[in-house]
Structure formats: C-alpha cells, structure tokens
Amino acid sequence: MTLESKFGLLHPRISVILLWAGLIAFDTAAQLLFKLAAQSLGHPEVSWRWLRLIVQSGTFWLAALCLTLTFTVWMLILRRSQLNLAFPATALTYIGVIGGSQLVFSESINAVQYAGIALIVVGVALLRRSTR
C-alpha cells in the first residue's frame, strides 16, 4: 500500500494538516538536534578530526534523519499545494525552533521575538486568505 493510498483514507484537509504538523515537527527536531550535536563537539576547529567527531555523533545522525524526513514530507506537501503558498508557510518552523530552544536550551524569548512570531502567523494567514 502506498503512502498516497494511506493518506487517501483521510479527508484531504486533515491529511494536509498532518503533513504540515509533521514538517514543522521534523524540521524543529532537526534544528534542535543539530544544536545539541554542535554543543557536544566543543570549539569548531575545521579539521579532519572535527569532521570525524561529527560523523561519529549519534545526535548528528538523528538530526540528519529528521532533515531527511522533513524533505520527504515537504515533497508530499508540494504535490498538494501551490508553491507560492507553501513556501512562505515554512516560516512556521521558526516558531517551533524558538519555542524548542526555550524548552531544550533554556534560551529566553524577548518581546521582539514574540512580535516576530505574531507577524509570521499573521503573514501566513494573510497569504492563505488571499487565495480564497
């Protein structure tokens, strides 16, 4: 059974919502895992030794897997969506990364970042509304 036929069992709107949730989750996880991998490597000194440490990092490979899943979901989204609407909506992953960085790394979120999040949400909503 293909992925298409599995998603075909769901209402088209629900399948698109699930794809977008997956894209945001996988991309957010990839960015947070890349940050964890980078922190575990110490000071970046571009050398063969440093590259070997990256290749030996399980966290790096998990991040790469998440990025591969992000790409796969993105391809499925593009099959169903207009690029001029889909691409700007990828900015929603910024919200996941900012929120995740606060939860995982205890980074603070300031008022300007909250305003940026609000502008992203409004911008994506306006782009979506303009096609109706």
- Number of domains into which the chain is organized: 1
How confident is the model over 21-38, as a mean pLDDT?
96
**How far from 127 is each of 13, 96, 118, CA to CA, in Å?**
17, 20, 14
Instruction: Inform me whether the pLDDT recorded for 36 exceeds 60.
Output: yes
Q: How confident is the model at residue 10 (pLDDT cuts 50, 70, 90)?
A: low
Average pLDDT, the chain: 87
Two structure tokens written together for 114: 């909250």
What is the pLDDT, as a whole number, of residue 43? 77
Mean pLDDT, residues 31-54: 87
Q: Determine the structural domain holding residue 29 and report its residue range.
A: 3-129
Measured distance CA(103)–CA(98) in Å, rounded: 9
Nearest residue to 67 via CA among 29, 105, 123, 14: 29
Query: Whole-angstrom Cα distance, residue 122 to residue 16?
Result: 20
CA 65, CA 67: separation in Å to the nearest integer?
5
